[in-house]
C-alpha cells in the first residue's frame, strides 16, 4: 500500500434503520484496513446515538481530533450518518474523514433535492413528485387529487421516504386506491416522500472512486468502475432483495451495449462531480437499450467485500484492502487542501 501506516477511526452503527447493515460494513472496513497495514480504532454508535469506545461513552472536543486518529472512516448509512450530520461533527473536530463532505452528503441523501439538482444540469431521470407530510395531513384530499392528476407518472409508481436508504419504507403502488396507504407508510419513516414513475430496462450500478492528486487525467477528478447489472427475483429491488441470501445477482459486466456502458460511466463521474462528492459513491441507473436514466447516488454504499460497490471496484482492478487504503489517502489529501485555504 502507498504511504506510511495510519491510525484510522472506523465509525459504525448509528441511529438509522440501517444500523445493522452499517455494523457489517464497518467490520469489513476494519478488517480491510488491518490487512492493508493500518491500526484501527473502533467507534460504535448506538441506536441511542451515543458514541462508544470499548463499550464506554466517548466524549469529544471541538478542534481536538478523534482518539488520535489520522483519519476517520464513517461507515454509516442513512440519516444521522450519511446526511451531513456526522460529517459536520468531524469537520468541527478537525479530523480528516473518508467520503463526501457536509453539503454533498445532505443533498445526495435527499432524493427530491438530488433529483432537482439533476434536472438543473440536464441529466435524464424518471419523472417524480415530492410530497411533504405536513401538507398531506392538512389537506389530504387535495394532495391526493393533485397526485392523481399527474398522469404523466402513470401506474405503477414507487413511493419512497426521501431520506432513507436500503429500500426502507418503499412501496409499489399499482392502483390509485393504494396511494394514500403507501404515503402514510412512507411518512412513518420521513416527513418528505418521493413518488416516482416506474422505469423500464435493466437496473445498473456504477462505482465511482476519487483520483489521487498525482493521478488526475486531464480534468477527471474521479474514476468510474465497470458497470454491473442487478438481477433479482422479487417484484422490485426491495430490502429483502438486497439483504436476503441469494435474492440478488450482480452481473459484471452488465448486459448492456458498449454505447450504454460508456454513457453509464461518463454519467456516473458527471453526477459525482456535479453533486460535489468526494472519495467514493455508487450511482444507480435504469438502462433501456441506449436510453440511460440516473436513479440515485449513494455517498456511502454498503461496504462489505460482497457488497455491490466493492465487487464493482474489484472487477475494475481495485481489491478491497487497496480500496479502503486509497479512500483514507484521498481523505488526507482533501484535509490538507482544505487547511491550506485562508478563512
334 a catalytic residue: no
What totals of helices (H) and strands (E) does the chain contain, helices first?
A: 11, 16
Provide the H-helix boundaries in 204-257. 239-243
243 a catalytic residue: yes
284 a catalytic residue: yes
Q: What are phi and psi of 52, to 5 degrees?
A: -130, 140
DSSP 76-89: --STTTSSSHHHHH
16 a catalytic residue: no
Packed helices 179-187 and 140-149: angle between N→C axes, nearest 10 degrees:
120
Q: Are 223 and 208 in contact (CB under 8 A)?
A: yes
Q: Active-site residue among 128, 298, 314, 329?
A: 298
Q: Active-site residue among 243, 270, 276, 316?
A: 243
343 a catalytic residue: no
- DSSP letter, residue 212: P
130 a catalytic residue: no
Of 29, 27, 38, residue with least CA distance to 5: 38
Q: What are phi and psi of 191, to 5 degrees?
A: -80, -5
Q: Active-site residue among 16, 24, 105, 166?
A: 166
295 a catalytic residue: no
282 a catalytic residue: yes
Q: Active-site residue among 13, 101, 302, 320?
A: 302
| Catalytically active residues, by annotation | 18, 166, 243, 282, 284, 296, 298, 302
Amino acid at each position: 500500500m502507498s504511504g506510511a501506516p495510519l491510525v484510522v477511526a472506523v465509525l459504525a452503527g448509528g441511529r438509522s434503520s440501517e444500523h445493522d447493515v452499517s455494523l457489517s460494513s464497518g467490520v469489513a472496513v476494519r478488517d480491510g484496513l488491518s490487512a492493508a497495514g493500518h491500526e484501527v480504532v473502533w467507534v460504535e454508535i448506538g441506536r441511542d446515538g451515543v458514541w462508544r469506545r470499548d463499550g464506554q461513552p466517548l466524549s469529544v472536543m471541538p478542534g481536538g481530533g478523534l482518539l488520535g486518529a489520522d483519519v476517520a472512516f464513517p461507515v454509516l448509512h442513512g440519516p444521522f450518518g450519511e446526511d451531513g450530520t456526522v460529517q459536520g461533527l468531524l469537520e468541527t473536530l478537525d479530523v480528516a474523514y473518508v467520503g463526501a463532505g457536509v453539503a454533498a452528503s445532505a443533498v445526495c441523501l435527499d432524493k427530491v433535492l438530488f433529483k432537482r439538482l439533476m434536472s438543473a444540469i440536464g441529466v435524464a431521470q424518471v419523472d417524480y413528485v415530492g410530497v411533504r407530510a405536513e401538507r398531506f395531513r392538512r389537506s389530504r384530499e387535495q394532495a391526493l387529487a393533485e397526485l392523481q392528476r399527474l398522469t404523466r407518472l402513470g401506474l405503477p409508481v414507487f413511493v419512497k421516504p426521501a431520506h432513507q436508504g436500503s429500500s426502507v419504507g418503499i412501496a409499489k403502488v399499482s392502483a390509485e386506491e393504494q396511494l394514500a396507504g403507501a404515503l402514510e407508510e412512507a411518512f412513518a419513516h420521513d416527513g418528505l416522500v418521493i413518488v416516482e414513475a416506474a422505469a423500464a430496462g435493466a437496473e445498473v450500478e456504477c462505482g465511482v472512486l476519487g483520483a489521487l492528486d498525482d493521478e488526475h487525467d486531464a480534468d477527471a477528478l474521479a474514476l468510474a468502475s465497470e458497470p454491473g447489472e442487478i438481477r433479482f427475483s422479487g417484484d422490485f429491488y426491495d430490502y429483502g432483495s438486497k439483504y436476503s441470501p441469494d435474492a440478488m445477482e450482480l452481473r459484471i459486466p452488465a448486459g448492456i451495449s458498449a454505447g450504454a456502458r460508456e454513457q453509464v460511466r461518463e454519467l456516473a463521474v458527471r453526477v459525482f462531480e456535479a453533486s460535489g462528492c468526494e472519495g467514493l459513491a455508487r450511482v444507480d441507473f435504469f438502462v433501456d437499450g441506449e436510453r440511460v436514466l440516473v436513479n440515485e447516488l449513494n455517498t456511502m454504499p454498503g461496504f462489505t467485500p460482497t457488497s455491490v460497490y466493492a465487487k464493482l471496484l474489484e472487477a475494475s482492478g481495485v481489491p478491497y484492502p487497496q480500496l479502503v487504503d486509497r479512500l483514507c489517502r484521498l481523505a488526507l489529501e482533501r484535509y490538507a487542501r482544505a487547511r491550506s485555504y485562508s478563512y
